[in-house]
Chains A and B, each alone.
Chain A
Amino acid sequence: MPSSKHIPAIRSTTILAAMAFTLTLATQAQTNSLPDAPTPSTAGLASLSPQPDLTFFTADPLQQSTSQPPAQNPAPPSLSDLGLTPDQTKADPDAQARLDRRTHMLKIHQKLGLLTTIPIAAACISSAGATPDRNSYGNTTSRDVHVGIAGLAIGMYGATAYYAIRAPRIPDSGPARGGIKIHKYLIWIHAPGMILTPILGTMAFNDIAGGHKPGGIEQYHSAVALTTAIAYAGSIVAVSWPIHMPFTGSK
């Protein structure tokens, strides 16, 4: 126990030591640099003032972790720390079901669309034998084959279109971008073409069956059909664009 005349001196020393350490800690807390936190030595402080137990104030991380309760460790960051609301992060099973249904229908649309190219191509090829220039007006076999194949193409085209039209729309998905945009623009060419072509074909067929060469608007049947077929093929290429060419590395 120190004598009473030593008390002011000890008190002053203690206060000075404490202030120095407080400043050290405050500086350490405010620094913006990122190196590992220095470990202040308490040896000097202890020699200045042996009375208070300064080991309590040590900044040694290991010792601090044992002296502080675990509750003081900050929790790892959460989504709420990022400013995300529960609405932004919650699951939406209805939207997922809508997406699943959309994808399912568009996959059928894709498969049917690719398969439809076969009868369309076959109809184009068979049209060569359906003109009256090469056949007698009375021989309708080639024209019947052409009509049959073209009818199949139109039926499959209709089924293909059905799956695209009936696929659910996804709200807030924004405007179409990329190849799908061209794919949709081309609908305005091949869809009317697919309606007009059989009408003109029927008119031409009736003209030929009547023993005369098609005249009037029906004479454009083959031109409309060819335009439709090109637009249809373009539509397939557009939705697949850009195409990466294997073995060459180019797009």
Chain B
Amino acid sequence: MNRCTLTLLASAFAFTQLAAAQADHTWLLDNSALTYHMSHPIHEVDATSHATKGIGKCHEGACDFLLATPVKTFDSGDSNRDLHMIQTVRGAQFPMVTVRFHIPESATNSPTFDCDLEINFAGQTAHYHVPFHQEITGNAHHITGTIPANIIDFKIPAPSFLTVPIKNEIPVKVDTTWHQQ
């Protein structure tokens, strides 16, 4: 009888442990604005996408995040320039920009935290170390930062105008709001 009770309890504990493991936190992206900046001696262009989707899965004190943005959703206000951008970055061949990073779960409550981003764009993968700022209002976590991206990191040929190429730096401002599911 005693052994039977212990077996039942052991099963209950095992189930609880399993449930606890499966009930790990999930973060969902509510809204976002990703803005890249392109510089040319006679052009300064900002293009923004609000179509980013993101998810974060936390398990055992660590979180894996994934963000994905369709390349064609970046809007500079000039449809001709945007189409040219899609062609230059081979946006039909590689339609998504994905960003992955891994942070300790404690960072999700910190006002600042650093991320090692793995960015897949234009068929190439590049890594950036980016500091982010976080403001927490209720369940909404507003996270901002700037990714110091370079076109050469993704082997993108620099577009030129009047034979002058654009600058190598294309910093991407990240403005996201997350909530914990």
Q: How far is the CB of A44 from chain B (nearest CB, A)?
A: 16
Residue from the set A26, A34, A244 with the largest chain B CB neighbour count within 10 Å = A34
In the complex, per-residue mask of A10-43: 1 if CB is within 8 Å of any chain B CB, else 0: 1100110010011001101110111111000000
Task: Report, as a range, how many residues of chain B touch the other chain.
Answer: 35 or more
Contact of B17 among A25, A73, A78, A242 (CB under 8 A): A25
The reply on A76 being an interface residue by CB < 8 A is: yes
Q: Within B46-87, which residues are at the interface with A (CB < 8 Å)?
A: 53-57, 59-61, 64-66, 68, 70, 76-81, 83-84, 86-87
In the complex, per-residue mask of A230-251: 1 if CB is within 8 Å of any chain B CB, else 0: 0000000001101111100001
Q: Is A14 within 8 A of B5, CB to CB? A: yes
The reply on B90 being an interface residue by CB < 8 A is: yes
Residues of chain B within 8 A (CB-CB) of A177 are: 77-79
The reply on B180 being an interface residue by CB < 8 A is: yes
Q: Is A179 within 8 A of B90, CB to CB? A: no
Q: How many interface residues does A have (CB within 8 Å)?
A: 70
The reply on B2 being an interface residue by CB < 8 A is: yes
Residues of chain B within 8 A (CB-CB) of A251 are: 44
Residues of chain B within 8 A (CB-CB) of A154 are: none
The reply on B132 being an interface residue by CB < 8 A is: no
Residues of chain A within 8 A (CB-CB) of B91 are: 96, 99
Q: Within B94-151, which residues are at the interface with A (CB < 8 Å)?
A: 94-96, 98, 100, 104-106, 108-109, 139
Q: How far is the CB of B175 from chain A (nearest CB, A)?
A: 18
Residues of chain A within 8 A (CB-CB) of B86 are: 99
Q: Is B78 within 8 A of A180, CB to CB? A: yes
Q: Is A78 within 8 A of B66, CB to CB? A: yes
Q: Is A18 within 8 A of B12, CB to CB? A: yes
Closest residue of B by beta carbon distance from A65? B60
Q: Is A64 within 8 A of B42, CB to CB? A: no
The reply on A217 being an interface residue by CB < 8 A is: no
The reply on A216 being an interface residue by CB < 8 A is: no
Contact of A102 among B40, B87, B104, B139 (CB under 8 A): B87
Known: A52-B6, A77-B55, A180-B78. A244 touches B44 (CB 8 A): yes
Given A64-B60, A77-B57, A91-B92, 8 additional A-B pairs, CB 8 A: A25-B17, A30-B23, A32-B139, A35-B109, A65-B60, A93-B92, A173-B79, A175-B79
The 4 closest A-B pairs by CB, nearest first: A178-B78, A95-B92, A180-B80, A29-B20
List, sorted by A's number, 19 A–B pairs whose CB atoms are closer than 8 Å. A11-B5, A18-B9, A21-B13, A32-B180, A34-B25, A35-B109, A76-B100, A77-B56, A77-B66, A79-B96, A82-B66, A91-B92, A91-B93, A92-B95, A93-B92, A99-B87, A175-B79, A176-B79, A240-B43
